[in-house]
Amino acid sequence: MKTAATYYQPNMELQRRGYMQKLIGRFFGYVILITVTILITIPIVGLVLGSFKLDADLVAYPIRIFPSEWQFKNYISVFTMTPFLPVMIRTFLLAMATATTTTFVSAMVGFGFARYDVPGSKQLFTIVIALILVPGIVLLIPQFLVYARLKMTGTYWPWVFGALGGSPAYIFLFRQFFLTFPRELEEAAEVDGANAFRVFWQIFLPNAKPVIATVMFFVFLGVWGDYLTPLIYLNDKNTLLGVKMATGFKNPQNITLKTVSLAANVYYILPMVIVFFIAQRNILKGVITSGLKG
């Protein structure tokens, strides 16, 4: 005759095996995360240490991990060799203006696609999806020819018009997010006499902070880290930070000072790292909550 202890022992064994499997899975998960973190951190640590070295230390053999002499003056030379701070401020303002405009326009268009089913809207949305698949490099030459004929090269108008057109990818992102809103919200507002723009501005936009943070971060990062576009459209007097960093740190013999360039790169990436760590919760939430509904 089977007793309660007979059933109890197999159950305990199954629980023990399940616990061991979870423990092993968690262990290997942590190993993978730590390994990836180390692989990502090594170049960053190398960048920071290299920014304090002499140029001779970078090519020394055997490899020197730490500087032979700590060159703190490299960080000062960044500002004395080039107008680094004015160019950084100029780039920041342009990136912020572009990010704000692109986010607002993309949110407005995404709101329209999500909440209003008018004739032709599905076909227009199909075109938006198709534009996501077009590589930006394909549009580079046609856009340059248009702006050149309009005499807008050497100015910031290409960024302005690009922002006013929104972004197909971010229109899609906002549209997916706004689809999750219940219809009762806008119906109640319309009963109170609110028009479409007021519904968008006072109800939908304030509740879209995660997506707004996500879009603004990536648009800002795109302008801040862009090298090709300012190289094509701007001249040396009004160029942006990416181009200035690549061409500005040279000695009288026209030889690039590598360690000063590394110090400039630390200044270059530090604002984006700070912004990401401040807004990372909203950024991750914006990516996760903008699902594939509809």
State the Cα–Cα distance between residues 93 and 95, nearest whole angstrom. Answer: 5
Residues 241 and 154 reside in one and the same domain: yes
Residue 60 lies in a domain: no
> What does the DSSP 8-state code read for residue 194?
-
Residues 176 and 235 reside in one and the same domain: yes
The answer to whether the Cα torsion of 111, 114, 117, 119 is positive or negative is positive
Residues 129 and 13 reside in one and the same domain: no
Residues 203 and 87 reside in one and the same domain: yes
**Host domain of residue 45:** 4-50
Residue 65 lies in a domain: no
pLDDT: which is higher, 112 or 8: 112
Residues 161 and 38 reside in one and the same domain: no
Cα dihedral angle (220, 222, 228, 232), rounded to 10 degrees? -40
Residues 12 and 152 reside in one and the same domain: no
Residues 102 and 207 reside in one and the same domain: yes
**pLDDT above 70 covers what percent of the chain?**
90
pLDDT in tens, 34-74: 999 899 888 888 888 888 888 888 877 787 888 888 888 88
Residue 125 lies in a domain: yes
Residue 55 lies in a domain: no
Residue 134 lies in a domain: yes
State the Cα–Cα distance between residues 106 and 89, nearest whole angstrom. Answer: 25
Residues 163 and 37 reside in one and the same domain: no
Per-residue confidence (pLDDT) for residue 250, from 0 to 100 = 77
The domain total for the chain is 2
Tell me the pLDDT of the chain averaged across its residues. 83
Residues 105 and 27 reside in one and the same domain: no
Residue 59 lies in a domain: no
Per-residue confidence (pLDDT) for residue 32, from 0 to 100 = 92
